[in-house]
Amino acid sequence: MKLAYWMYAGPAHIGTLRIASSFRNVHAIMHAPLGDDYFNVMRSMLERERQFTPVTTSVVDRHVLARGSQEKVVDNIVRKDSEEHPDLIVLTPTCTSSILQEDLENFVERAKLDAQCEVLLADVNHYRVNELQAGDRTLHQIVSHYLTKAAKTGTLRTTKTAQPSVNILGITTLGFHHHHDCTELKRLMSDLGIHVNLVIPEGASVDQLETLPQAWFNLVPYREIGPLTAQYLQQTYAMPYVDIAPMGVMETARCIRAIAEILHQLDPQISATCFDDFIQTQTRHVSQAAWFSRSIDCQNLTGKKAVVFGDSTHAAALTKILSREMGIHVVWAGTYCAYDAEWFTAQVSGYCDRVLITEDHGQIGDAIAQTEPAAIFGTQMERHVGKRLGIPCGVIAAPVHIQNFPLGYRPFVGYEGTNQICDLIYNSFTLGMEDHLLEIFGGHDTKTAMHKGITADSDLHWQSDAQSLLQQVPGFVRGKVKRNTEKFARDRQISTITLEVFYAAKEAVGA
Amino acid sequence: MTATTENTTLTIGCETGNYHTFCPISCVAWLYQKIEDSFFLVIGTKTCGYFLQNAMGVMIFAEPRYAMAELEEGDISAQLNDYEELKRLCEQIKRDRNPSVIVWIGTCTTEIIKMDLEGLAPKLEAEIGIPIVVARANGLDYAFTQGEDTVLASMALRCPDRQPELAQEKQERNPLQRLLHFGKTKEDIDTTESSYADHPPLTLFGSLPDPVVTNLTLELQKHGIRVSGWLPAKRFTELPTIEPGSYVCGVNPFLSRTATTLVRRRKAKLINAPFPIGPDGTRAWIEAIGAALGVVPQGLAEREQQIWDSLEDYRQLIRGKSVFFMGDNLLEVSLARFLIRCGMIVHEIGIPYMDQRYQAAELALLAKTCQEMNAPIPQIMEKPDNYNQVQRIYELQPDLVITGMAHANPLEARGINTKWSVEFTFAQIHGFSNARDILELVTRPLRRNSGLKSLGWEQLV
C-alpha cells in the first residue's frame, strides 16, 4: 500500500480509452463498476467535445460478483453494435474487473459471432502499466490487428506513394495541445513537400489502417504514445521512423534533417541536405525564437534558475530549450515517466545540474522549495506548488486543467511552436520580475486608496454571530453580501444586524 | 420501457442501470470539509485516486485531509499483510495530521478481495488510539451521494446514547447551542430557553454547510422546536447524543441507510417528512416535525407565500417549460416536486435508487403537487439507461435537461439546454432562504440562451 493523493499518470484503462475514442467510429466498452466512466466527463469537459464520448460501461455490480458476468458483457457488446454500428468495439478491463479474472477473451470470441463489427480485448495489465504505456500498447494492438487482417485478405497496400509521404503516429484525445501540434506538423510536412498519408489515432478510421505501409516513413512526435507502433511497422514492413520531437529551434532542425536523411536513403535523387535552406529561412524569419535569444530581453534571463518537470517528451524538450537556446540555468529536470528513466537521463544530461525521476509530487514540491528557482516549468501540480511558494510557473505537460485546452492556436511543435514556447517562458519570468519589483517599491500605490473607497465604515452594528456567519461567505462575494445586508437593514431602520436580519436580507434580495 | 406523460398515478419504472454518475467515494470531498477533525483514507486503486483527483479539481491542491491507500499488486495477491500495511499508513497519518477520527472508505477492490475492514478497524483502533470508522462506499453497491449515507450510517453507531454531564453543564457544552448563543447575554439565553416548547429531543441528520445548519435550526426555533444536535457535527468529538426513543429527521433524500440505522440500532423514532428543498418542501418538513413533536407551527403559510412572491421574477422564466431529469444524485424527486410547484412540466425523473419508504412523504407531496398544479404525473425511472434516455430526450425535446457533465456538452451542441446536476449537490439549496439559489441554477441556461437567441447557431454538430 502506498499513501497518495495525487498521481501524474492515470490508470491503464484511461490510456486505452484515449486511443479508442480518438479513432473515428470505434466504441469502447469498459468492464467496470458504476462511476468508473469518469473518462466521459473529462473528455466532454476538457476538450469541450460536441459528440457523445463513444465509451459505455458493462456495469460490474453485486450480481456480477456473485454469479459472474455471464451473458451481460456479450449482450452489451451486441447491443452497442446494433445501436451505433461501430467498426470496432474495444472491450476494456479496469483494475477492479481484472481482479475478477473473468475470461474476457472468451466473451470477445462469443460476441464476435453475433456482432457485425470487429471486437478486441485491450491487452493491458492494470497493476503493471500506467495510462501512457497502456495507450502505446493499445495503439500497437489495434494497428497490428488490422494490418495482419489486411495481409490475410490481401487488401494490404504496400506499394509506396509516388511522392514522399509520412504517417504521423500518436496524436490522441486528451493529449497536451495535441490538436494544435497535429495542425502544425501537417503544415510543416506540406512545407517540406511531404504528403501526409495518415494521422493515427486521432480522426482516423480503422479501415484506413491498411494504407499505413504505403507511406515512406513514420513520424513519432511524442515519446509516450506511438513508439511501439513505429517499431512494429519498422520490423514488419521495414518502414523507417523519426522519433525526434520537433520542439524548439534546434530539435525541429534535427528532426527535419533526420527526415531528409531517410528520404535520401529511400531515393538517392533526394539530397540529404535538401531542407537546409528551408531550415535557415524558417529559423531566421518564421520562428522568432532565434532572434529572441539574441535580444536583450533574453539577455536579462541569462543564468536565471529554473526547474523542469513533466512527461519525458516535454520535460526533455523544455530543458534543452531553456539551457541551449536561452542560456537559462536549469538546476534540475525531471520526469514522472519512471519506466523511461534511461532515455530521459540521456536526453537531458549536459543541460541540467541534476536529474530527478519520481512519481511522488511531495518530493517534487520539496525539491522546488529547496531550489527556489525564478520560474518553474511543470504540470498543474507544479503550478500550485509555485502559487504557494510565490514562484511563477509555465505549464508544459499533462496532467492539466481546462485552461490547457485553449481555443486559440497554441502548438508546441514546429516553428510556430517555438514562438509559443518563447512567449510562455518569457511571460513566466517577467511576471516573476514584476512581482519582485512591486515588492521592492511597496506595491501598487493605489491599493490602499481603492480599498478604503469600497469598504466605507458602516454605522450599523453587526452582532458577533451574524458577523461570524458573514465570514463564512466566500471572499469574492462577501463585500456584496455585506452591502446588500446593510442596505436592507437601513431601509427598514434596523440598527443591529442579527442572524435573523442576515437571512431575511438574503431572502429579500437574493444576495 | 418508455415514459408516457399521461400517467395518472405515480409509477416507478426500472431500466438497465447503465447510467453515468459519480463514484460514491466522492463524499470524502464534502465530508472532510464538514467534519473538521477527520481524516478520510480511501482504500482502493489508481482508478479511485484518478477519479478523486479529477472530480475534486482545485480542492486537491489545498492539502486536503484525505488520501488514497493505493493498493499494489502485492496487496491484491495477499503477499502483503493488510493489517500491517494499514497500520503503517494510519500511524503516518496520526503523526502528520493528528485527526480525531480516521474514516476508512472501502472500495470495489476491497470488496472483491474481501478485505475485512470492519474486523481490522477495532483492533487497529485499540492499538493506535484513534477511532476508525469504516464505510463501504463503493461503486458496486452505491451511487454518488449514497456515499455520505454509508459514512453517516457508520457514524450513527458512534453517537453517545446519553449525556455524561450534568444538565447545567450540558447546556453550555452543546456546540450547536453555543454557536447560536454566541455573543448573547445570560438573560437573552434564558429568554430563548423559555421560548422552546416542551418536546422530546430531536436530532437532524445529513451533512450541510454550516450557514444552512444555522438557518434550518433557527427556522425550527421560531416555532419553539429545539434541535438537540446534528449528525454529522462540525467535529467528530461533538457527535450528538441519541437516546432511545428520541426523534430523528433527515434533511436529504439519499440518507435511507442512516435512517434505518438510527431506527433499528439506536431505537430512535424517524419523522417521515418531505425534504426542506424549496419553500413548499421546507414548510412541509417543519409541519411534519411539528406534528410528530406535538408543536403547532405558526405563520408558516405566510412565510411560504412571502418566499414565493420573492421568486416571481425567476418563476416567470420557467412557467410552462418542461424539464427532464436524467438522474444521478437522488435529489431528483425533491427538485422535481419543487419545479412542478413553480409551474414546470416534468417529463421524467431518473433516479439511481428509490427508497419508497424513506421517501414516502416526499413522494406523497409530489403526487399532491401534480394534482394541485394540474400537471401530468412524471415517470420515475429507477436505475435509468442513459442511451434510452437520450433517445427519449430527442423525442420529447424538453426545454431543460438536468444531467451529468458527460452528456451536457453533447446535448448543448444539439440545441438542448442542460444544467449540470452535480451543482445541486454542492450549492446551498435547503430551507426558505436558499429557494432562490435553486432557481438561480435552473434558470441559468434559459437566461443565457435568451441572451444568445438571435444568433442562429443553436445546432452545432
Distance between CA B87 and CA A71 in Å, rounded? 41
Closest approach of A310 to chain B, Cα-based (Å)? 17
B343 Ramachandran zone, left/alpha/beta (phi>0; psi -120 to 50): left
Query: pLDDT of A376-392, one tens digit each?
Result: 999 999 998 999 898 99
Band of pLDDT at residue B60, cut at 50, 70 and 90: low
pLDDT reported for residue A66: 85
**Chain A interface, mutation test: which of B33, B219, B433, B459, most A Cβ atoms within 10 Å?**
B433
Distance between CA B105 and CA B184 in Å, rounded? 41
For residue A242, pLDDT beyond 70: yes
For residue A317, pLDDT beyond 50: yes
Give pTM, 2 decimals.
0.89
pLDDT reported for residue B190: 60
Is residue B209 within 8 A of residue B428, CB to CB? The reply is yes
Interchain contact B275–A (C-beta under 8 A):
no
Give buried/exposed letters for A177-201 (b at 16+ CB in 10 A, else e). Answer: bbbbbbbbbbebbebbebebbbbbb
Minimal Cα distance from A66: which residue of B?
A: B112
Closest approach of B152 to chain A, Cα-based (Å)? 21
Interchain contact A42–B (C-beta under 8 A):
yes
Region A111-133: mean pLDDT is: 93
pLDDT reported for residue A479: 82
Is residue B337 within 8 A of residue B365, CB to CB? The reply is yes
Band of pLDDT at residue B179, cut at 50, 70 and 90: low
Average the pLDDT over each of A216-220, A289-293, B3-7 and give the range with the smallest value.
B3-7
Among residues 117-136 of chain B, which lie with CB inside 8 Å of chain A?
none
Q: Do A33 and B140 touch (CB under 8 A)?
A: yes
How far is it between the farthest Cα atoms of chain A?
A: 94
Q: Residue A159, Cα to own-chain centre: how many angstroms?
A: 35
Distance between CA B61 and CA A385 in Å, rounded? 8
Grid cell listed for B108:
470495489
Distance between CA A186 and CA A129 in Å, rounded? 31
Band of pLDDT at residue B3, cut at 50, 70 and 90: very low
ipTM of the complex: 0.89
pLDDT reported for residue A173: 95
The secondary structure of residue A25, as a DSSP letter, is: T
Q: Which of A3, A49, A94 sits opposite B409 (nearest CB)?
A: A49
Band of pLDDT at residue B414, cut at 50, 70 and 90: very high
DSSP-derived pairing of the beta strands A55-59 and A26-32:
parallel
For residue A278, pLDDT beyond 60: yes
Q: Which of B53, B214, B413 sits opposite A6 (nearest CB)?
A: B53
* Dihedral angle sign, alpha carbons of residues A391, A350, A226, A416: positive
Does A105 or B79 have the greater pLDDT score? Answer: A105
Band of pLDDT at residue A509, cut at 50, 70 and 90: low
Q: Please report, for chain B, how many H helices and E strands are present, in that order.
A: 21, 14
Give the SS3 label for residue A232: helix
All residues of chain A having their beta carbon less than 8 Å from the beta carbon of residue B66 are: 5
- Find, among B79, B340, B294, the residue nearest to B202 by Cα: B294
Among residues A61, A103, A123, A297, the one annotated as catalytic is A297
The secondary structure of residue A324, as a DSSP letter, is: I
Q: Residue length, chain B?
A: 461
Q: Which of B23, B67, B409 sits opposite A44 (nearest CB)?
A: B409
Give buried/exposed letters for B199-225 (b at 16+ CB in 10 A, else e). Answer: bebbbbbbbbbebbbbbbbbbbeebbb
Q: Do B69 and A3 touch (CB under 8 A)?
A: yes
Minimal Cα distance from A43: which residue of B?
A: B406
Grid cell listed for B215:
438557518
pLDDT reported for residue B1: 40
DSSP-derived pairing of the beta strands B269-270 and B379-382:
unpaired
Verify whether residue A297 is a known catalytic residue: yes
Grid cell listed for B16:
438497465
